[in-house]
């Protein structure tokens, strides 16, 4: 809670108040900054941790976490495949120029048309439910000359000593094809009735509470075992999904597994399970949060600091939706960039609140620092995951996004206008 850091001189933007003010003149009094160098660093660190331990490795970047086109393209250039969970995301990957063979198509909802399109494109497809099997069979039957490769997302128990490892404590995951009730066997039998279908991979993404190494041990071990038991002859990949921790801000002061720890656990199991195999299967990791959370900042101008009874409320040109769409109560790491850093005021407690008309629009709670003043800026850090994709167009247009590449700043999403907000192609006036 007391993690706020004065940024009177240079901050990680390398800008003082004047510099930020200049950007604000161009982009509006609130906007996001994407730190491109840090994004490259995240990609390189994850890639190196795994590749140094298991050569046949790729990263499939989880689009849904943040599908800013510029960011997806940058990751693609670095070497990441596109991991998409809807036709919208699939089409975005095509739109940014991704090679369809480097798209991994996951997700619980796919139509016959989606599957036909992706199979014709030779994308990697993991089917999530039994209904998709009919689509794959239909495609294979009407295209007997095409060798149809397909992966299966599988669902098994990953609880530890009877305790659920899943987010929110869910007892079961709702995704994938259930191993325990025999559905996997059924799916394999069904797909094998068609000669030109090959089952080439298994996928096991689980959203766990603590993203622990133990969970990855269970997931990887199960995937290897199921692959060896059922599809060893045609096996091309093991996809362990996403869900790993990224590098957390120092102020969080918590110990979480590093990229090396995850790689050691996951690659260790693959190396052991496929020891002696001439061509080891491809290992796919699908990071989302770990890749992008710490590469975005949100900058908002302070409009006023006001007092209600004994409490201070700092109003900014921003909303909780811009920084924490899930509205969790933890404060993000943040900095105040003061217009007049030398004015000496006493530290006190204040909340940072937003422009919407909801009582719960708090960007931060009970900060203890010198009270921010009008025309100061507040920088919220670590806002890259689920903000750009989730913040609803509510009450105000969406802010712009600026990419910072070394010392260069370029617009990668313009500030929205009323014309785009109420798009006349879809709204009837
Ligand atoms: C959301 C998702 C991911 C990314 O999860 P993170 O926790 O952001 O790493 C990867 N794979 C699938 C299938 C997903 O749905």
Q: Closest residue (by CA) to atom 10 of ligand 1? A: 242
For 279-334, write each residue's pLDDT tens digit: 999 999 999 999 999 999 999 999 999 999 999 999 999 999 999 988 888 999 99
> Is the C-beta atom of 290 inside 6 A of ligand 1?
yes
- Residue 305 pLDDT: 96
Neighbouring CB atoms inside 10 A of 382's CB total 22
Give yes or no for residue 198 CB within 6 A of ligand 1.
Answer: no
Counting ligand 1 atoms within 8 A of each CB, the residue from 207, 219, 223, 293 with the most, and so the one to mutate, is: 207
d(CA 127, CA 129): 6
- Cα-Cα end-to-end distance for the chain: 47
How many helices (H) and strands (E) the chain has is answered by: 12, 19
pLDDT of residue 252: 80
Q: What percent of the chain has pLDDT over 70?
A: 97
300: CB partners within 8 A, 6+ apart:
29, 30, 316, 317, 318, 322, 363, 377, 378, 380
pLDDT band at 154 (very low <50, low <70, confident <90, very high): very high
pLDDT, residue 298, reads 97
Q: Looking at the whole model, is its pTM more than 0.85? A: yes
pLDDT at 257 over 70: yes
Instruction: Reply yes or no on whether the pLDDT at 1 is more than 80.
Output: no
64 lines ligand 1 (CB under 6 A): yes
Give the span between the Cα atoms of 31 and 414, in whole angstroms: 10
What does the buried/exposed string (b/e) look like for 223-240 if buried means 16 or more CB atoms within 10 Å of the residue's CB?
Answer: bbebbeebbeeebbbbbb
Which residue, among 312, 384, 321, has the nearest Cα to 357 in the 3D structure? 321
Q: Residues 186-230: pLDDT tens digits? A: 999 999 999 999 999 999 999 998 899 999 999 999 999 999 999
Across the range 1-5, mean pLDDT stands at: 52
Whether the CA torsion 420, 422, 427, 429 is positive or negative: it is negative
- Give tens-digit pLDDT for 98-151: 999 999 999 999 999 999 999 999 999 999 999 999 999 999 999 999 999 999
What's the pLDDT at 195?
Answer: 96
Phi and psi at residue 41, to the nearest 5°? -60, -45
Question: In whole angstroms, what is the distance from residue 19 CA to residue 402 CA?
Answer: 14
Q: Is 287's C-beta closer than 6 angstroms to any atom of ligand 1?
A: yes
Tell me how long the chain is. 429
* Dihedral sign (CA 163, 167, 168, 172): negative
Q: What is the helix (H) or strand (E) element at residue 378, kind and residue range?
A: strand 377-381
Domain 5-35+294-421: which topology? Lyase, Ornithine Decarboxylase; Chain A, domain 1 (2.40.37)
Tell me the β-bridge partners of 337: 377
* Count of C-beta atoms within a 10 Å radius of residue 21: 16
Across the chain, mean pLDDT equals 95
Domain locations in the chain? 5-35+294-421, 36-292
Domain 36-292, CATH 3.20.20.10 — does that match?
yes
219 in contact with ligand 1, CB cutoff 6 A:
no
Answer whether 241 contacts ligand 1 (Cβ < 6 A): yes
- Determine the angle formed by the axes of helices 183-192 and 213-230, rounding to 10 degrees: 40
Question: What does the pLDDT look like over 38-86, one tens digit per residue?
Answer: 999 999 999 999 999 999 999 999 999 999 999 999 999 999 999 999 9
**Ligand 1 atom closest to the CA of 287, numbered from 1:** 9
């Amino acid at each position: 809670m007391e993690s706020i850091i004065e940024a009177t001189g240079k901050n990680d933007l390398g800008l003082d108040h004047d510099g930020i003010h200049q950007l604000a003149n161009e982009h509006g009094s609130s906007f996001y900054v994407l730190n491109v160098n840090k994004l490259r660093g995240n990609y390189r660190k994850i890639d190196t941790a795994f590749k140094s331990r298991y050569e046949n490795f790729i990263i499939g970047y989880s689009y849904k976490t943040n599908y800013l086109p510029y960011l997806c393209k940058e990751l693609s250039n670095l070497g990441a495949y596109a991991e998409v969970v809807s036709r919208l995301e699939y089409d975005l990957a095509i739109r940014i120029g991704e090679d369809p063979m480097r798209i991994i198509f996951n997700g619980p909802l796919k139509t016959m048309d989606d599957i036909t399109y992706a199979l014709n494109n030779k994308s990697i497809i993991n089917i999530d439910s039994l209904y998709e099997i009919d689509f794959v069979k239909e495609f294979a039957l009407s295209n007997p000359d095409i060798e149809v490769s397909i992966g299966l997302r599988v669902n098994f128990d990953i609880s530890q000593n009877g305790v659920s490892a899943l987010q929110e404590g869910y007892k079961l995951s709702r995704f994938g094809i259930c191993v325990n009730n025999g559905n996997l066997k059924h799916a394999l039998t069904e797909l094998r009735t068609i000669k030109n279908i090959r089952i080439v991979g298994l996928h096991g993404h689980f959203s766990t509470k603590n993203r622990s190494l133990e969970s990855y041990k269970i997931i990887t071990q199960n995937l290897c075992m199921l692959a060896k038991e059922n599809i060893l002859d045609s096996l091309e990949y093991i996809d362990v999904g996403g869900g790993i921790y990224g590098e957390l801000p120092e102020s969080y002061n918590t110990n979480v597994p590093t990229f090396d720890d995850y790689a050691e656990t996951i690659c260790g199991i693959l190396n052991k399970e496929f020891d002696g195999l001439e061509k080891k299967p491809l290992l796919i990791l699908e990071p989302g949060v770990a890749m992008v959370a710490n590469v975005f900042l949100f900058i908002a101008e302070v409009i006023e600091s006001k007092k209600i009874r004994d409490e201070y409320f700092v109003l900014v040109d921003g909303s909780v939706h811009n920084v924490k769409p899930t509205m969790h109560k933890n404060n993000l790491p943040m900095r105040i960039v003061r217009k007049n850093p030398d004015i000496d005021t006493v530290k006190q407690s204040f909340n940072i609140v937003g422009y919407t008309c909801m009582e719960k629009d708090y960007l931060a709670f009970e900060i203890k620092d010198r009270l921010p003043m009008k025309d100061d800026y507040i920088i919220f850090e670590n806002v890259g995951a689920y903000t750009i994709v989730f913040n609803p167009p509510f009450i105000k247009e969406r802010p712009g996004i600026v990419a910072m590449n070394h010392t260069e700043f370029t617009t990668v999403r313009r500030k929205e206008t009323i014309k785009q907000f109420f798009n006349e192609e879809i709204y009837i006036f």
